[in-house]
Amino acid sequence: MERDTPLRNSPWPRAVAEVPCVIACLTDRPFAARLKDAHRGHADVHFVETYAELQKAVRRESRPISAIVITPTDSVGTAAAAFLREFTRQEPDIPITAYCQPGIAQSPEIRRLAAAGVHEFLFRGTDDAGFALRGALESAQRECTTDAVMRRVAPLLPVRLHTFVQHAVAHPSKVKRLRDVARGIGLSQRTISRYCEREGFPAPVVLLGWSRLFPVAYLLGTTRRTVESIALELDWPSDTALRNAIRNTVGCRASEVRERGGLDYAIRVFCDATAPALRRPAAVAPGMDPQQLPMAL
């Protein structure tokens, strides 16, 4: 069985399981207690009073940050939406969950928070305790992973294949076969095959295989998580099945994907496999020189 090895070109000294960190800036004390209780044994929860302190805590933290949890204002009255617009530009790969009051009166604030980069919402008295609370934060992590993958992959794809890849990346537990993707995006398998053929891309089943591995590569490159825990989260049949898929598709071991840059390395291999298609004008993002695609990665 493949073993993870010490990393030479990674910020992580060794690919071992580690308790992640949750950083919370909350004005609701009872909810803060429930948040800490829900993550007992799953994550260390660190509390700050203001968004300025939150930003400093993120910069100081050496462990993986699995979530940031905020309320719409901090203890000094600073609005979260204004803070997040700048924060998410600097830290686009950290999942953010907002804890809000329910009710239609809160809709404008919720829209502002969503536009500023919040991935998931918790509502008082609805899903703010126990398993439901932790589940909401895990949903934010999945949403953040999807966003991170698509920011890097979407500019390399024809527009008509964006939805296919995004659906496969975002729903690993529901998308195992081509027909699952087709059903999820409302297209027939024949139509998807025709799109891939017209764009010079690999067959849809091959593109699906890559789409399922992109979030795996992202997590390998940005966390210390083991292959076993990643396989469990992304609903692979087993860690052995995931290791074999990485070796057969990317051409190396999981530890080597991590060592070589995670998602960025997987994308380079993907580009090598689909280079003729990626150089077609329809597959190039506006303003990007097709001849510079390999360097852009």
Per-residue CA distances from 272 to 113, 139, 250 (Å)? 39, 32, 10
pTM: 0.77
pLDDT digits (tens, 9 = 90+) for 216-229: 999 999 888 899 99
Would you say 113 and 98 are in contact if contact means Cβ atoms under 8 Å apart?
A: yes
Is the pLDDT higher at 278 or at 86?
Answer: 86
pLDDT interval class at 290 (50, 70, 90): very low
Would you say 201 and 276 are in contact if contact means Cβ atoms under 8 Å apart?
A: no
Q: Taking the alpha carbons of 211, 212, 215, 221 in that order, is the dihedral positive or negative?
A: negative
- Residue 201, token pair as written in the block: 């891309």
Q: Is the pLDDT of residue 250 over 60?
A: yes
Per-residue CA distances from 255 to 10, 177, 242, 250, 270 (Å)? 11, 26, 12, 12, 18
Q: So what's the pLDDT on residue 52?
A: 95
Residues 163 and 184: their CA atoms lie apart, in Å, by 10
Q: So what's the pLDDT on residue 185?
A: 95
Mean pLDDT of 63-91: 92
Is the pLDDT higher at 17 or at 264?
Answer: 264
pLDDT interval class at 294 (50, 70, 90): very low
Q: So what's the pLDDT on residue 258?
A: 95
Residues 131 and 247: their CA atoms lie apart, in Å, by 35
Would you say 196 and 226 are in contact if contact means Cβ atoms under 8 Å apart?
A: no
pLDDT digits (tens, 9 = 90+) for 168-207: 999 998 999 999 999 999 999 999 999 999 988 889 999 9
| Domain boundaries defined on the chain | 21-147, 158-296
**Same CATH fold, 158-296 and 21-147?**
no
Per-residue CA distances from 93 to 69, 140, 145, 216 (Å)? 14, 11, 7, 15
Q: Which CATH architecture has domain 158-296?
A: Orthogonal Bundle (1.10)
Averaged pLDDT score across all residues of the chain? 85
Q: So what's the pLDDT on residue 277?
A: 62
For residue 61, the tally of other CB atoms under 10 A from its CB is: 15
Q: So what's the pLDDT on residue 275?
A: 65
**Top-level CATH class of 21-147?**
alpha beta
